[in-house]
Amino acid sequence: MTDLERIAAQRILVLDGAMGTMIQRLGLTEEDFHPKGMEDHKILLKGNNELLSLSRPEAIKRIHEQYLEAGADIVETNT
């Protein structure tokens, strides 16, 4: 039995919330979605939230921290 299974057998676990909504609240610009090496990318990337793991990792980390601070037991990856 994994640690996760053991804890889930004892109590209800809380999963994080809406990642997209939290990202929208940051008010990011098109440029925020362009990681190093993709600064001159011709296609609009705003809204491709997975890229933020490369271009704005501190923002993604902070969102995960906020969910943990709010009591989440589990946070999903930003992929």
- 31-63 tens-digit pLDDT: 999 999 998 989 999 999 999 999 999 999 999
What's the pTM value of the predicted model, to 2 decimals?
A: 0.86
Query: In the chain, where are the structural domains located?
Result: 12-69
3-class secondary structure for the chain? Answer: CCHHHHHHHHCCCCECCCHHHHHHHCCCCHHHHCCCCCCCCCCCCCCCHHHHHHHCHHHHHHHHHHHHHCCCCECCCCC
Distance CA 49, CA 59 (A): 11
Q: What tens digit of pLDDT does each residue of 26-38 get?
A: 999 999 999 999 9
